[in-house]
Amino acid sequence: MHSVVEIPTVLTIAGSDPSGGAGIQADLKTFMKAGVYGAAAIAGLTAQNTLAVDAAEPVSRDFVRRQLKSVFSDIRIDTVKLGMLPGRAVCEEVAAFLSDHPVICDPVMVATSGGRLVDKNSVSALIELILPKTDYLTPNLYELEVLCEKPVNDIIEAGMSVMERFPGLSGIALKGGHRPNPDGTVTDTLLYRENGAIKQHAETNPYIDTKNTHGTGCTFSSAMAAFLAKKEKPADAFVQAVRFTHRLIVISKEKKIGHGHGPLLHHL
């Protein structure tokens, strides 16, 4: 009798990017590259490319619920990855499915190109309904400032304040790409709870000067979700996600897709 092999599986609940660089499309590419099975429920639709976000709108709450019921009733999910969740109704539906699964949330608010993807009501719903059920959070600098409700000078201090605000968080990944170090490097830091204390784990890489960064946040968060689904320890999953994303940035640096912030090229 043949033994059954269980494949690590991640469900992404996020928005769709028709240009293929971010959102659901980047998530699924990342899952495949990281060696896990990817399922996807679309929470929002966007009209965007490498230059700008032209429009964004939520999927109806009923259809979001139907997608999630279909997946959870059939497939074992090891980790849930959250991306763009537009609107309170969508957040309410998603929150109802999160209690029994490890959740890593990329609090998508603003695209690399500068386009606003969700409104203030969506941000409020995310903070009120989703973050209390989130295990790991992966904001960029601008999203961290929204969560802290003020400009951020020290990202470690800001991360600590978010951990204190949301005591259910197991960790927060603080990405340094928006503020390279004076020596030409970038330091990413994971704050995580262990034995009642908040610990730090930092990973430093050379700063890559490139405009091809479309979907970098989605890719990093999805990679960390994938490595957590493979039962890596949080700090190890973080390090592997940082190195995974850095490698893709290096690979994609000199390639050209579109006329703006080009995407990471997961297939290379």
Indicate whether 267 belongs to any domain: no
Q: Which of 89, 85, 79 is nearest to 107 (CA)?
A: 85
Indicate whether 115 belongs to any domain: yes
Q: What average pLDDT is seen over the chain?
A: 94
Domain containing 88 equals 9-252
Indicate whether 262 belongs to any domain: no
Confidence (pLDDT) at 113 = 52
Catalytic residue (one of 187, 189, 218, 245): 218
Asked if pLDDT for residue 115 goes beyond 80, the answer is no
Confidence (pLDDT) at 177 = 87
Beta strands in 101-247 (DSSP E): 103-105, 136-137, 171-174, 185-194, 197-206
Does the annotation mark 230 as catalytic?
no
pLDDT category of residue 1 using cuts at 50, 70 and 90: low
Could you give the number of structural domains in the chain? 1
Does the annotation mark 216 as catalytic?
yes
Average pLDDT over residues 17-24: 97
Q: d(Cα 60, Cα 102) in Å, to the nearest integer?
A: 25
Are 229 and 8 in contact by the 8 Å Cβ rule? The answer is: yes
Give the residue, 83 or 142, on which the prediction is more confident: 83
Q: Which residue has the tokens 């297939």?
A: 267
Catalytic residue (one of 175, 176, 177, 262): 175
Catalytic residue (one of 91, 215, 230, 245): 215
Does the annotation mark 91 as catalytic?
no
Indicate whether 40 belongs to any domain: yes
- How far, CA to CA in Å, does 242 sit from each of 94, 188, 219? 27, 8, 10
Predicted model pTM: 0.95
Least confident of 81-95, 99-113, 201-215: 99-113
Does the annotation mark 105 as catalytic?
no
Indicate whether 268 belongs to any domain: no
Least confident of 120-129, 165-174, 183-192, 241-250: 120-129
Indicate whether 17 belongs to any domain: yes
Does the annotation mark 29 as catalytic?
no
SS3 readout for 46-100? EEECCCCEEEEEECCHHHHHHHHHHHHCCCCCCEEEECCCCCHHHHHHHHCCCCC
pLDDT category of residue 102 using cuts at 50, 70 and 90: very high
Catalytic residue (one of 9, 50, 112, 213): 213
Asked if pLDDT for residue 112 goes beyond 70, the answer is no
Average pLDDT over residues 71-78: 97
State the CATH number of the domain containing residue 156. Answer: 3.40.1190.20
| 50 HSE (CA, 13 A, CB side) | 16
Burial class (CB in 10 A: 0-12, 13-18, 19+), 196: exposed
Does the annotation mark 213 as catalytic?
yes
Q: Which of 111, 108, 123 is nearest to 48 (CA)?
A: 111
Asked if pLDDT for residue 119 goes beyond 90, the answer is no
Catalytic residue (one of 79, 216, 219, 245): 216
Encode 122-154: b = buried (16+ Cβ within 10 Å), e = exposed.
bbebbbebbbebbbbbbbbbebbbbbbeeebee
Element (H, E) at 218: helix 216-229
Confidence (pLDDT) at 4 = 82
Q: d(Cα 227, Cα 239) in Å, to the nearest integer?
A: 10
Confidence (pLDDT) at 6 = 87
Indicate whether 89 belongs to any domain: yes
Catalytic residue (one of 217, 219, 230, 262): 217
